[in-house]
Amino acid sequence: MNTDERPSAMQRKAGAGRPPPEIGAPTAARILRTAIMQAGEDVAALSIVAGQPEEMRTTLAPIVEGIGEHALMALIEGPEGRYGLILVDPDTLAALIEIQTTGRVVPRPATARPPTRTDAIMCADFIDRVLELLEDRTAEADIDIAPALGGFRYALALSEARAIPMTLDDVPYRRFHVSLDLGRGAKQGTLDVILPFNAAPSGAAAATNADPAGFTQALAEVVGEAEVLLRGTLHRLQMPLAEVAGLSVGSVIPIPREALGQVAIEDINGRTVKHGRLGMSGGHRAIRIGAVAEAEPQMDAPARPAKPAALPPVDPLPDLPDSGDVPDLGDVADLGPLGDTGDLPDLPDLPDLPDLPDLADLPDLPDLSNSDNPLDLS
């Protein structure tokens, strides 16, 4: 053997003479992993390190049974009326919310709470970006299952796991389960992407198998069971801060009587969606919702006397003008003789009075000057 043909020690260290390393062919799982990491940066500047996804074939029953508590269940809609599901665990959900609201991921586990509609809306862009990258990259790599992975986008969030069988078709599904490191180790979460296993039928078969009416009815049942938070507002009034600070137990706040028939039914955003009347049902306060007419009789209540109408203000009397100095009338004797009063009629003659009888002589009264008892007349 010619020693000149042998690779040198430097060449051996550099890998000379070895076959080139095999680069793994792209798969849907590998593409999904990179799509999740890029979507975190693109949408929320969130650092995500995704593990290798676990791919499996499953059905609806194991999906429903395996959903963790307080996970966000995002329904995704695809072509030809097909639907899939994205499951976001509480820590991944909290990381997406925190990075978008405070700019950082809090290094502690998420607080256990049910996801809200606001949570779902704030995660919708991230979900759409993951699905968009998965669709584009699997199509570019010409993966054979690319048609089954494309065209899905966020639709709405489901409030309960029992709504899944009523919404998704009972067909086989392809499930990708991915472990996530979020915010450089601040949180550890998971993400599940669940899509129909087979691609959508095309042409006449698609028209035959499509059942939009059935889905509409199922979706209506799901939405009809969703919880809606409403608030009844009896009356709103403004008070000076000093009066508010002085309120205590037993303080009375005046409320007009007509407010009982105009209770506002408000949504969580404070918008009035209906009006109703305050009343009783089963011994509890209740609001009867319906159109409230202006002449509608009010609730039975003790009659209160009407307040008297306020009298208009009285203008003050004007000042009397100065009458000046009153002249002195002087002595009455100086008034002079009175004028002639004319002839006065003669008075009639008075009748003669009868003579009165003579009174008897009274006996002499005793001398009381020396009596001890002046009242003793004996």
CATH of the domain at 64: 3.40.1550.10
pTM above 0.75, yes or no: no
**Displacement of CA 134 from its chain's centroid (Å):** 38
Query: Distances in Å between the alpha carbon of 170 and those of 165, 208, 235, 257?
Result: 7, 17, 50, 57
* 216 and 235 assigned to the same domain: no
- Given a contact cutoff of 8 angstroms between Cβ atoms, the answer to whether 161 and 73 are in contact is yes
The CA-CA-CA angle for residues 23, 144, 79, to 5°, reads 130
* 104 and 195 assigned to the same domain: yes
Domain boundary among 249, 265, 292: 292
* 60 and 80 assigned to the same domain: yes
Residue 367 lies in a domain: no
Residue 173 lies in a domain: yes
Identify the pLDDT of residue 359. 63
Identify the pLDDT of residue 214. 62
Alpha helices in the chain, H assignment, sequence order:
9-13, 28-44, 60-65, 90-101, 117-140, 146-149, 163-167, 203-209, 212-224, 241-245
* 154 and 216 assigned to the same domain: yes
Residue 72 lies in a domain: yes
Report the amino acid identity of residue 7: P
Residue 127 lies in a domain: yes
* 52 and 136 assigned to the same domain: yes
Residue 36 lies in a domain: yes
* 101 and 114 assigned to the same domain: yes
- Given a contact cutoff of 8 angstroms between Cβ atoms, the answer to whether 164 and 181 are in contact is no
Instruction: Please list the pLDDT of the chain residue by residue as tens digits (378 residues).
Output: 444 445 555 555 454 445 444 456 899 999 999 999 999 999 999 999 999 999 999 999 999 999 999 999 999 999 988 999 999 999 999 999 999 999 999 999 999 999 999 999 999 999 999 999 999 999 999 999 999 999 999 999 999 999 999 899 999 999 999 999 999 999 999 999 999 999 877 654 444 455 555 666 666 666 666 677 788 888 888 889 888 888 888 888 888 888 878 888 887 667 887 888 877 676 677 888 864 443 334 444 444 444 444 555 555 656 656 656 656 655 555 555 655 656 666 666 666 666 666 666 666 666 655 555 555 555
Name the DSSP class of 228: -
Residue 355 lies in a domain: no
* 40 and 90 assigned to the same domain: yes
Residues in the chain: 378
- Split into its structural domains, the chain has a count of 2
- Given a contact cutoff of 8 angstroms between Cβ atoms, the answer to whether 55 and 28 are in contact is yes
Report the amino acid identity of residue 220: A
* 219 and 261 assigned to the same domain: no
**280 lies in which domain range?**
229-240+257-292
* 145 and 88 assigned to the same domain: yes
Residue 302 lies in a domain: no
* 180 and 235 assigned to the same domain: no
* 182 and 270 assigned to the same domain: no
Residues 267 and 273: their CA atoms lie apart, in Å, by 7
The residues near 149 (Cβ < 8 Å, ≥ 6 apart) are 28, 134, 135, 138, 143, 195
* 40 and 110 assigned to the same domain: yes
User: Could you give the 3-state DSSP secondary structure of residue 74?
Assistant: strand
